[in-house]
Amino acid sequence: MTAHEVDYHIYGEEMQYVEIELDPQEAVVAEAGNFMMMDSGIRMETIFGDGSGQDQGIMGKLFSAGKRLLTGESLFMTVFLNEFQGKRKVSFAAPYPGKIIPIDLTAYQGKFICQKDAFLCAAKGVSVGIEFSKKIGRGLFGGEGFIMQKLEGDGMAFVHAGGTLARKELAAGEVLKVDTGCVVGFTQTVDYDIEFIGGIKNTVFGGEGLFFATLRGPGVVYIQSLPFSRLAGRVWSAAPQAGGKQKGEGSVLGGLGNLLDGDNRF
């Protein structure tokens, strides 16, 4: 194996974290901001890119880091190396309520495609790269643009999904239609495209967007029930407006609306 072989355990239900056990000289790489805690004896170091091109000189490092700019991520990642003589543990937390998905890349022919912000951490040696969409419709209207992340190698990687997770195994030719924001990731054998919902009423009054994703098997697909964009939108719409007042607050109609909503603050 080119990637480090790590053991892990996932804790929690709604707000999960993954604890990774490192043997001496084993390491794990993670996105900045995902670190939770670690044992003594583990050295933390900031590196260019994902560390998979570190043995290819300065050009390998720059290329590895440059790929991350295209996905909107930082140039840098953090590597956690166990320098202790025994086993040590390091933990990474999910950024919002949902599930952490362990991805054994050897089970998926060494490649898994996911949303740009889904990656949490991986064994050192796993390459975190970019996957360009070859279809114009998917690139323009797919919610993820022309670029998604691809995880390549023969180690363990961990991605995060919002809300409740659904894992679907599609047979050859089987099609699953999904809201574009609810797609977490899929194996390289799945054909991913965008389809127009159609219909004047659906388009104008549907409230579900103009497009949904079509995923055609064979392969495995992971679906999330609560995309972060949807969660953020609900929080923003429910947040008090400027000056600490809600919409309509301070007027007769605003007070009546609050009463009907079950909020008796006038």
Q: In this structure, what CATH number is given to the domain that contains residue 47? A: 3.60.160.10
CA-angle at 237, arms to 231 and 243, nearest 5° = 130
Asked if residue 254 is part of any domain, the answer here is no
Q: Which of 200, 224, 239, 238 is nearest to 143 (CA)?
A: 224
Residue predicted with more confidence, 109 or 262: 109
Q: Report if residue 170 sits inside a domain.
A: yes
Q: Span 204-227, mean pLDDT?
A: 79
**Residue 120 predicted with pLDDT over 70:** yes
Q: Residue with structure tokens 């055609």?
A: 216
Phi-psi region of 72 (alpha: psi -120 to 50; beta: other; left: phi over 0): left
The distance from CA 124 to its chain's CA centroid, rounded to whole angstroms, is 18
Query: Could you tell me which of 99, 84, 101, 96 has the C-alpha nearest to residue 43?
Result: 84
Neighbouring C-alpha atoms within 13 Å toward the C-beta of 50: 25
What SS3 state is found at 203?
helix
Asked if residue 251 is part of any domain, the answer here is: no
- Report d(CA 120, CA 213) in Å as an integer: 24
Q: What is this structure's pTM?
A: 0.78
Residue 66 has pLDDT above 90, yes or no: no
253 falls within a domain: no
Query: Would you state the pLDDT for residue 236?
Result: 78
pLDDT band at 17 (very low <50, low <70, confident <90, very high): very high
- Is residue 1 one of the residues assigned to a domain? no
pLDDT of residue 228: 78
Q: In terms of pLDDT, which residue wins out, 9 or 257?
A: 9
Residue 235 has a pLDDT of 77
pLDDT for the residue numbered 81:
95
Residues 131-190: tens digit of each pLDDT: 876 554 544 544 444 578 889 999 999 999 999 999 999 999 999 999 888 999 999 999
Q: By the 8 A CB rule, do 4 and 123 touch?
A: yes
Q: Are 121 and 34 in contact (CB under 8 A)?
A: yes
Per-residue pLDDT, averaged over 109-115, amounts to 93
- The range of the structural domain enclosing residue 202 comes to 7-235
Domain count across the chain:
1
Least confident interval from 92-96, 134-138, 231-235: 134-138
Residue 85, in any domain of the structure:
yes
